[in-house]
Structures are given as structure tokens and as C-alpha cells.
Structure 1
């Protein structure tokens, strides 16, 4: 039995993993795969990959590409979610801020440097034509930290996934003043190089299982009700989210994909120079 650790955000995107783990599909192939939630997001997962605290991570595209450039010893195997992530732009419900234009020069809550909330705040600033070098960040570690920072006037706005934060908007904790979609497919599957070298067949089998689940996920009878209850979302929000979300069912990562994302990250001043696609990707199906 091969023992492997996998991590991801505790959000509805990763429910296909929950189903395969619940059904012990990996155990049948002699893989003991253990899931760990990372409410802190991609910055936290990149650190865990570096430290060996997880072997596989379901991470945001922009975050892992930047971290591999910065020395993370991991490879991207494929996209996990093909569609963009919709980032809600939030302020405290009582804030006088009402438009994205009002955010210029304001303090930004981020979970960590290199996280999606950090990098997408830069993307949003670039989209508005602001000076990226003048952005003022406050590290808050998690969604809960972002809520507290806005409530305690320690930060002015906070970007987090639109549907995950929708209940907080409904409850009058957040006011959403806009959205910022990622200009690329949002989640990828990354694996530590050491694990890829030691267990290539096991990793291939894990991908085959999750890709099979992804192919049938949206057609599962009653899936809207299950997701609505598990993630405390209104049924119409879950239906809308499902309608715009597409999972990858087996296409490997390509050099063109990596090049295109790097080009955008350079444009956004997130990275300084491109690296060869071979430094980022591994095709386990070859």
C-alpha cells in the first residue's frame, strides 16, 4: 500500500474528490490517499508542497506557476477545473465604498503573499489601470481572517471565490461591489517531483479515478441538493455555479497553456521572466 497526502480548499469544487475517497476507489488500487483541507488557500498549499506536508495539491493556476518559478519542487499534471474562477470583490457590509473605482489606494486583505487573493487583487488593479507597486496588503490567512479584517477596519476590501462568499453577502456580513474572473482555467493538479519519480503509476491511477468522476459529476442525481446542504448554499446559487463550472476529465497540461499564463503574469507584473514549460509540466500518460 502506497501512502499519499492530498490537499485542497474546503469548497464545492473539490466534492468530486470527496466522493472518490468516500467510495475507497484509491484503496482498491493499493493507494492510501488522505485528504487535508486548506482553508488558507493556495499560498498555504504551496508551502505544504515545499515542506512535504502534502504530496498532491489542487491549487490555483496562477499561484502554483509563480511558486514553481520561485523554487517549488513540483510539477503540474493537468488542469482540474477548466473554467475561470469568479472572484467576488467584497467590502464590509457597512462600508461607504460602493464601486470598484472607490477601491483605489485602499487596503487589501489577502490570505498570504502568492495566494489567489493576493494575485487576483493585482489582476484587478491592473484591469483598473492602477499602479500595482502602490497596493497595500494585509495578511489575514483565511476567509475568516478576511471577514475579521474588514469588520475591524484593518483592511478595506477582500477578494474571494464568488459562490463561497455568497452566504456572507446574503447574511449582510459582506457587500459585494464587483467580480474579477481569472483570465485562465482556475485549478490545476500539482504533485511533488519526488512523488512523481517514486510513484508514477499510482499518480496515473489517481488521475484516472478523479477524471472518471469528473466526467459524470454534474449528472449525478440530486447533486444540487447535496452541494446546497453540505456547503450551506442556496439551491439557485449551486445551480448557477454548476452551469458555469467545467471539470477536466483527462486532458494533460500543455506547453502553450503554461506559456499563455506566464505571459499574462508578466503583463500583471506578478513574475519578471518566463521559464521553459518543461520546468512546470509532467505528462504521466506518456
Structure 2
């Protein structure tokens, strides 16, 4: 049986992977797919792809595009979630900051450089017409637990993370949300190491076929909202709102979207150059 390692954030977006694994759908096809939770997010997964710890990553679009341009030997094989990610902008509940204007020039908590929390801080700064050199400062906190500690203890001032994941921390009075910043592109893609693509294309096709069947029917799974609420300890009404806003994809990310991401990252000096569409994607 072929062993395949896949990584993703332990969030509701990836429940479809859990369901297909629980049902043994990959093993039926001779594939031992092993899921690895990456609490450190996109930056940690980029490192995992580079080292070969994982073969596949369900990863933020902007993060993997940046890292492929920076030399990650992987390619995007598909969009996973078509809708934008809604990033909540959070401060400690006891913070004096009340608005997005108040955090200008303060310290953004980021999981690591090159992560979504890092890159989206630039997008937010651009949206607010801030000076990218003077008004952005970063404090590395590794993960969500690190953000709780960092903001609560005053080591950082604000933190951007997917708003539904952090909603329980807002509800319990740990964080206060002062705004939202949607990603200006589809949020998650599936990226695969080049070596794996070259040697295991049939297995990769099988894996994509299985997950795509589940995501195409995901919203019609009986009581899926209650399942998500229970598994991820979220309020049912929040899960229902999230489901209404979220659309999965079973298609390869298109050239126009790739160019949009590259243009914005290049204009923000996050990437040193723009590359051809074919250098970022692989059509399975």
C-alpha cells in the first residue's frame, strides 16, 4: 500500500479530508493517506513540502505562490476552497485599540514569516493606505496558542486569523475583533511536491477524485452544520454563516487568478519577481 503524507490546518475547511479518511476511501484504492495537522499554518507547511515531510499540502494560495517563487519544488494542482478567507483582525480584550486605525504602526503577531498572517498584514496595510515600511512591525508567535499568549501578555498588539476559527476566543473574552480583511483571491489550494507528481500521478489523481467527490456534496451531508459545531467547538449559527459563505472547488486555479495574486504580492515587495503560470501549476 502506497503511503502518502498530507498536511493542513486543523480547521473546519478540512473536515472533508477527515471524513474521507474516516470512511477508509483511500485505503480501498491502495493508498495509505496520512493526515498531519499543521498548527503553524502555511509557513510550516511550506517547510514540510521542502523537507519532504509531506507530499501534499492544503495551503493558502498566496503563501504557496510566494514559496514556489522562492524555490519550493512544488506545484499547485487544484483550487480547494474557491471563496476568499475572511481574516478577522483581533486585539486582546483588554487592549485600548478600538479600530483598525488604532493599530497603525503597532506589532502584528504572525505565525512565521511567509505565513498567511504575515502576508495578509500587508494586504490590510495596503487597504488602509499605510506606509508599508514604517507602519508594519512583526512579532513571531508560531500558532494560535502563541497569539493568545502574545496579545494577552503585551508582546504583540494585533493578530489576523480566519475569523470563524478565532470566534470562540472572541466569545470567551480572550480576543476582541476590530475588523475583517477578506483575501482578494480563492483562499486554499492543493500543492504537491514535484517529485511526488512525477512518480505518483495515478495515486494523486485518485486522491483528488475522492476528495472532490466529497467537497462537491459537502453542504448536503445530513447535519453537517452540527458535526462541524461539535468537532470544532463553534456556535451552530456561526457554522451556518460560514457554510453560506464558503464554496469548494474541484478545478485547477486559472491563469487570471494566479496573475492577480502575483501582481499584488509583487507590488507589495513580498515576491522579488513574477513567473509564468506554468511554473506555478501542474495540470493533473
TM-score (norm 1): 0.98
2:179 match:
178
2:271 match:
271
Per-residue CA distance 1:40-59 (angstroms, 9 max, x = gap): 10000000000000000000
> Is residue 7–residue 45 contact of structure 1 (8 Å, CA) maintained in 2?
yes
Q: What is the RMSD of the two structures over their aligned residues, measured on CA atoms?
A: 0.8
Residue 255 (structure 2) pairs with residue 280 (structure 1): no
What is the CA–CA distance in structure 1 between the aligned matches of 2:119 and 2:64, rounded to whole Å? 11
Which structure 1 residue ranges, 4+ long, deviate > 6 Å from structure 2?
A: none
1:22 match:
22
1:10 match:
10
What is the CA–CA distance in structure 1 between the aligned matches of 2:151 and 2:6, rounded to whole Å? 31
Following superposition of structure 1 onto structure 2, how do residues 222-261 of structure 1 map, counting pairs within 5 Å? Answer: 222-248=223-249, 250-261=250-261
Q: Secondary structure at the match of 2:178?
A: strand
What is the CA–CA distance in structure 2 between the aligned matches of 1:269 and 1:101, rounded to whole Å? 23
Residue 204 (structure 2) pairs with residue 203 (structure 1): yes
TM-score (norm 2): 0.98
- CA drift of 1:273 comes to 1.8
What is the CA–CA distance in structure 2 between the aligned matches of 1:264 and 1:253, rounded to whole Å? 17
Following superposition of structure 1 onto structure 2, how do residues 8-157 of structure 1 map, counting pairs within 5 Å? Answer: 8-134=8-134, 135-157=136-158
Q: Secondary structure at the match of 2:133?
A: helix
What is the CA–CA distance in structure 2 between the aligned matches of 1:281 and 1:214, rounded to whole Å? 21
> Is residue 253–residue 283 contact of structure 1 (8 Å, CA) maintained in 2?
no
Gaps of 5+ in 2: none
1:163 match:
164
Per-residue CA distance 1:65-100 (angstroms, 9 max, x = gap): 000000000000011000000000000000010000
- CA drift of 1:171 comes to 0.3
Q: Secondary structure at the match of 1:253?
A: coil
Q: Secondary structure at the match of 1:243?
A: helix
Gaps of 5+ in 1: none
